[in-house]
Amino acid sequence: MNDPSVTGGASPGQDDAVSDRARRLASIPSFQRIDAFLNESDYARRHLMPGACDFTLGNPHQMPAERYVRTLRDALTPQHDQWFAYQTNGKASREAAAESLHRLLAVPFRSEDIYLTTGGFAAIALALKTVADPGDEVIYSLPPWFLYEPLVLEAGLVPVKVKIDTMTFDLDLGAIEAAITERTRVVIVNSPNNPTGRIYPPELLRRLADLLEAASARIGRRIYLVSDEPYNRIVFDGLRFHSPAEFYPHTLLAYSYGKTHLSPGERVGYLALPPTIPHRDEMSHAITALQVAMGWVYPNGLLQHALPELEEFSIDVSQLQRRRDRLADALGSMGYRVRLPEGTFYLYIPTPIPDDEAFTASLARRDVFVLPASCSKPRASSGCPSLRTRT
Ligand code: PMP
């Protein structure tokens, strides 16, 4: 059956091959542009050629670390006859993840509150479906990670995009407050932020928590916060990362190991609930049911066996910081206005001409591949043309 909130009430005709839900998803403009970029562009044809500079996606630029490879190789050797049996939320992985998160945030996460997923995508989708029903509104800030929109729409939810403070790259709390309606159910926060590299300061997160608490009381319905933090270990200049989960108990924390390990093709991450979250048992039942019903979104066995050891592994963040500095210096000396990112591995830079897509296309003709930030915002609202580039 169709879900009317996703389909707009229309039913497929007799000859339709695909559902309205799928057709609507496939026609999201930013999604189509990304699809064309990945499959039919200069980038698709030439990014692997010798001499090409690929600064687009969060992919590695060097061979994987020996320790990472050895850990996976060791995890491949079966230690008992159930080694390759179905895996769910493996105990050892959950414990390792909870301890590590406890160390990072000084919040005593419990291993039972870690739900293992196939990366951050699935963790975000799981979070949305755990708390929101079709038709509910999900607020996030522009420019967003460009795949929030399909995840939100696929869940039958309504994306509501708000501006950021373009001077500081901070969340614009006034814009978030103004966007809240009786249908608001989730606010997605992404810090360290892709693409701006901003790490939201604790005072801002505290004020956001107060705002969401007051707004939930006003509309008579709990607003949840989904904290998308795959870059929470990719932090520069000795700064400390703070998670919204430290300030707002109604937070679902989505994490992916794909950045810390710089291996986004190995799909592993989790959704974590803070120990302070109310209705924990009810949520736990809902999440475990969804993990199966969404297509067994658990990481595969090999990654689960390797995870306790991989928790201790990280790419060299100081090397990333040196790369950031080198690239920022070079771009600065060419006249670009570069604002140093505090974390992540992206630079978000105003383009010298207003049309950011034309500008990135001209770079692509010279085999320099970057993404226009308009990939991540509706064309109609393009206000601050900029490009986003992997350092
Ligand atoms: N959130 C953000 C902000 C991201 O940048 C990404 C990946 N680029 C993801 C979520 C998804 O991470 P993964 O592919 O590791 O699931």
Q: How confident is the model at residue 390 (pLDDT cuts 50, 70, 90)?
A: low
Regarding the domain delimited by 87-310, which CATH topology (the fold level of the hierarchy) does it fall under?
A: Aspartate Aminotransferase; domain 2 (3.40.640)
pLDDT digits (tens, 9 = 90+) for 150-182: 999 999 999 999 999 989 999 999 999 999 999
Distance CA 160, CA 122 (A): 21
Closest Cα partner for 231 from 140, 146, 315? 315
Which residues are within 8 A (CB) of 310 and not within 5 positions of it... i.e. 6 or more apart?
A: 68, 71, 257, 261, 303
Whole-number Cα distances in Å, 225 to 107, 138, 250 = 17, 10, 6
Best probe residue, ligand 1, of 145, 188, 232, 243 (max atoms within 8 Å of C-beta): 145
More confident residue, 128 or 12: 128
298 close to 126: Cβ distance less than 8 angstroms: no
If one compares 382 and 288, the residue with the highest pLDDT of the two is 288
Domain definitions of the chain by residue range: 17-63+316-390, 87-310
Q: Residue length, the chain?
A: 391
pLDDT in tens, 335-344: 999 999 999 9
Q: How confident is the model at residue 377 (pLDDT cuts 50, 70, 90)?
A: very low
Contact between 124 and 146 (Cβ < 8 Å): no
Confidence of residue 121 (pLDDT cuts 50, 70, 90): very high
**How confident is the model at residue 380, as a pLDDT?**
37
The mean pLDDT of 241-247, rounded to a whole number, is: 98
**pLDDT per residue over 14-64, tens digit each?**
778 999 889 989 898 877 887 888 888 889 999 989 999 999 888 888 899
State which ligand 1 atom lies nearest to the alpha carbon of 256. 15
Distance 10 CA to ligand 1 centre (A): 32
Determine which residue's CA is closest to atom 13 belonging to ligand 1.
120
Residue of the CA atom closest to atom 10 of ligand 1 = 120
Mean predicted confidence (pLDDT) in 186-204: 97
Strand, helix or coil for residue 169: coil
pLDDT tens across 281-315, in order? Answer: 999 999 999 999 999 999 999 999 999 999 999 99
Mean pLDDT of 247-268: 97
Q: Give residue 158's pLDDT.
A: 97
Does residue 208 have a pLDDT over 60? yes
* Integer angstrom CA distances of residue 255 from 41, 272, 293: 31, 8, 20
pLDDT score at 225: 98
Q: What angle do CA 132, 303, 319 make, to 5 degrees?
A: 95
Would you say 75 and 93 are in contact if contact means Cβ atoms under 8 Å apart? no
Q: Is 197 touching ligand 1 by the criterion CB < 6 Å?
A: no
Report whether residue 344 contacts ligand 1, using a CB cutoff of 6 Å.
Answer: no
Mean residue pLDDT of the chain comes to 91
Between β-strands 269-272 and 251-256, what pairing exists: parallel, antiparallel or unpaired? Answer: antiparallel
Q: In this model, does residue 4 exceed pLDDT 50?
A: no
List pLDDT tens digits, range 74-107: 999 999 999 999 999 999 999 999 999 999 999 9
pTM score, whole prediction: 0.92
Q: Which residue from 135, 104, 319, 335 is spatially nearest to 232, judged by alpha carbons? A: 104
**CATH architecture for residues 17-63+316-390:** Alpha-Beta Complex (3.90)
Cβ–ligand 1 distance for 229 under 6 Å, the answer no
Expressed in angstroms and rounded, the spacing between residue 263 Cα and the centre of ligand 1 is 11
Nearest CA to ligand 1 atom 4: 145
- Reduce the DSSP state of residue 316 to 3 states and report it: coil
pLDDT band at 146 (very low <50, low <70, confident <90, very high): confident
Measured CA distances, 206 to 125, 210, 227 (Å) = 25, 6, 14
